[in-house]
Amino acid sequence: MPNLRLARRVGRIQPSATLALTARAKALKAEGKDVIALTAGEPDFETPMPIRQGAIDALHKGGAVGRYTPVGGTPELIKAVIEKFRRDNGLDYKPEQILVSCGAKHSIFNAIGALIDDGDEVIVPAPFWVSYPEMIRFFGGTPVIVDTSASGFVLTPEALRKAITPRTRLLIVNSPGNPTGAVWDRQAQQAIADVVAGTDIAVISDEIYEKLVYDGAHVAFAGLSTDAYDRTITVNGVAKAYAMTGWRIGYVGGPLAVVKAMNALQSHSTSNPTTVAQLATLTALKNDPKELPDWRRQYQARRDRMVAGLNAAKGVKCAVPGGAFYVFPDFRGWIGRRHGDTVLLNDAAICEALLTRALVGGVPGGEFGAPGFVRFSYAASDEEIAKAIERIQRFAAELV
């Protein structure tokens, strides 16, 4: 057998914990267990028919749908992205400042790849989306994690100031956020923008949950000032807003030099995102689907039910998240308690016990840089949510 040595850079990363836990919950389900998997960050709604129909029509027509497009997207789609940024966010971009990629995850990967060298530091507020630190490490950078759990999951200017060093190249912000659902208001984001103003620090603003805000309003970081615009790569996509996770389309608007470098990187990896998915996205971006307000209402009602249900479980504290479709309750009250013969030592043990004994899947907060918390997605049916709450409450009552 040859000794196939793996690259050091892959040794620095771990597989996605959320995808792994989702797969585990699905496997238990396949074994016939009545598991409620609140693990995945995926809308449970169908991609709206007009979006699918746009793709079906293009497939029937043939021709361009089976061909390469320019690396960063078709001119029509780039125009639609520019219009979206102008309409929703008041941001003005030229076509060369836009890049369409294979999901927002790919957009962020390209952006970090274009910006980060060995030894560069990237400030990542915690709790964070699991892929940020992994991507940073993959590209040789160092994630500098700044805990926000004591300030309502909002990065304070003081904490940010303390984390900045001469090696800081990039700050990642994500409102509404995964895993907390926290929505950072204009004042909070302005305070952050003021700290980085005048520096050479780039900002990735991951706004993938923009359309899922229940309290307050979405704020585009790049819209805060000319200075913020000049340093910010605004990331968005179709997955969460339009129930299009499988279509794999994300996009950015940002500083010309950065987007050009991202485009070059993409030109040697995926080339253009799948042509038929670009055509479907064109329909989605031209007009928000008519279903969106109703989805938002349903998510909000589920959120309220989840928060109330969790707070009624002994030892659990759950803040009300303003957006996305996650709750991020504090389970530290369960640590050290016993369920039968098992001591709940940490959030991983809590999630393991909840999955195997209560048949409810959640993701340990430690995976997001917040040990003692658990993330549940409420992109699930009303019945599933009701059942999950009942099971968690019953489990809580059984703890000694």
Ligand X SMILES: Cc1ncc(COP(=O)(O)O)c(C=O)c1O
- The residue ranges that bind ligand X (CB under 6 A) are 41, 103-105, 129, 174, 178, 206, 208, 237, 239, 245, 250
Closer residue to ligand X (CB): 149 or 245: 245
Find the shortest distance in angstroms from Cβ 183 to ligand X: 13
State the nearest-atom distance from the C-beta of 324 to ligand X, in Å: 8
Which C-beta is closer to ligand X: that of 41 or that of 54?
Answer: 41
Closest to ligand X by CB, 237 or 323: 237
Facing residues of 144 across strands?
A: 123
Q: Smallest Cα–Cα separation from 179: which of 85, 38, 78, 28?
A: 38
Amino acid at 391: R
Cα 349 from Cα 345, distance rounded (Å) = 6
Measured from each CB, the residue nearest to ligand X is: 103
Smallest distance, ligand X to C-beta of residue 46, A: 16
Give 322-355 as a 3 state SS string.
Answer: CECCEECCECHHHCCCEECCEECCCHHHHHHHHH
Shortest approach of ligand X to residue 328 CB, angstroms? 13
Compare residues 174 and 275 and give the one whose CB is closer to ligand X: 174
Residue nearer to ligand X on the CB measure, 89 or 346: 89
Task: Tell me the C-alpha to C-alpha distance, in Å, between residue 362 and each of 233, 331, 354, 359, 387.
Answer: 31, 12, 8, 10, 14
**CA 357, 363, 364 angle in degrees (round to 5)?**
90
Shortest CB 155 distance to ligand X, Å? 15
> Rounded to the nearest whole angstrom, what is the least distance from the CB of residue 110 to ligand X in the complex?
12
Contact at 8 Å (CB) between 273 and 99? no
Kindly tell me which of 133 and 250 has the beta carbon lying closer to ligand X: 250
